[in-house]
Amino acid sequence: MHSWISTTASDLNFFAYLEDIAPGGKVSVITDGRLKASMRALGTPPYSYFNLPYHRMFEEDRQLLKPGEVVELVFDMLPLSQIFAKGHQLRVTVTNADPREKDRQTMTPAPMVNILRDRVHASYVTVPVIAGR
């Protein structure tokens, strides 16, 4: 997941859900990923990490957001193996809260979040595809 964002908050949690949409509109969450924006610094893993984005999550890596500053968040989603039926579509949903989140906090007023998707700041998800028969 590569997402270019700007926000009025100094830190936020970001959750991304990869979803399968059936032709009738039924939505199923296939996998998800999460990242605390202040812990977005990418590092070099001390072991084989399959070329996935690696975040040490050390206190000295913390980078608070500046209001209006555009930053890129890069994080992986949980592994999956999925066969998508013909006619189904993929959707990515990005949120700042998840019901399973343990350190959820209420922010008043609610921060504004912009997800950029222009030529310079293309937000995207890379999904490996193995061609079927």
Range of the domain at 16: 2-116
Asked if 44 contacts 114 with a C-beta cutoff of 8 angstroms, the reply is no
On average, the pLDDT of the chain sits at 92
Indicate whether 100 belongs to any domain: yes
How many domains is the chain built from?
A: 1
- pLDDT, tens digit only, all 133 positions of the chain: 999 999 999 999 999 999 999 999 999 999 999 999 999 999 999 999 888 999 999 999 999 999 999 999 999 999 888 888 999 999 999 999 888 887 777 888 999 999 999 999 998 888 888 776 6
Indicate whether 122 belongs to any domain: no
Indicate whether 79 belongs to any domain: yes
Strands 13-21 and 27-36: antiparallel
Indicate whether 131 belongs to any domain: no
Indicate whether 68 belongs to any domain: yes
Indicate whether 98 belongs to any domain: yes
Per-residue pLDDT of 32-56, as tens digits, reads: 999 999 999 999 999 998 889 999 9
- Other beta carbons within 10 Å of 56: 14
Predicted TM-score (pTM) of the model is 0.89
Indicate whether 128 belongs to any domain: no
Indicate which CATH number applies to the domain containing 20.
Answer: 2.60.120.260
Closest to 6 in 3D by CA, of 73, 68, 63? 68
pLDDT for position 104: 77
Q: ∠45-124-41 over CA atoms, to 5°?
A: 30
Indicate whether 133 belongs to any domain: no
Q: The tokens 């989140």 sit on which residue?
A: 101
